[in-house]
Amino acid sequence: MGCPMKEEITYFEKPGKANTDEALRLAKQTAQARGIKSIAVASHTGYTAERAMEVFEGTESLLIIGGSSRDRFSPETLKRLEAAGHKVLFTSETSKELPDQPNTTLRRICEGMRVVVRITTAMVDNGLLKPGERVVAVA
């Protein structure tokens, strides 16, 4: 029988960019405490990817960025991510969507939860994460 685990949950008063750095800091803290190296980060325009590169700089973490469309993503950020050895996947370039019922259910719980599930599933389907690999996902 394993030891009981105690976790803390952080809720943000309002959604938005103002929470990005703190969410990434918490993800880094969790990853380091659990020895997790793969960090899946949803980033629509590249802003969150840029912030993640800064927050995780100097760690052994591999950022795997999930964006919705290459057209919406900053080309400069894409170049910096790839030059640093991080991975990027655009879900518009993959053919697999979540089925309607799980997609709707996750959206009703929390849009961020739906995005986390969608990007990590796409990352596994496209070989950027191994099935069963431990990952911290941020959306």
- What would the pLDDT profile of 87-104 be if each residue is shown by its tens digit? 999 988 776 777 889 888
pLDDT in the model for residue 95: 63
pLDDT, greater one: 2 or 72: 72
pLDDT at 2 over 80: no
Name the DSSP letter for residue 75.
Answer: H
pLDDT in the model for residue 1: 57
The residue type of 42 is A
pLDDT in the model for residue 106: 87
Beta bridge partners of 66: 42, 89
- Local structure of 136: helix, strand or coil: strand
Beta bridge partners of 12: none
- Local structure of 117: helix, strand or coil: helix
Read off the pLDDT of each residue in 60-79 and give the average, rounded to a whole number. Answer: 92
pLDDT in the model for residue 102: 86
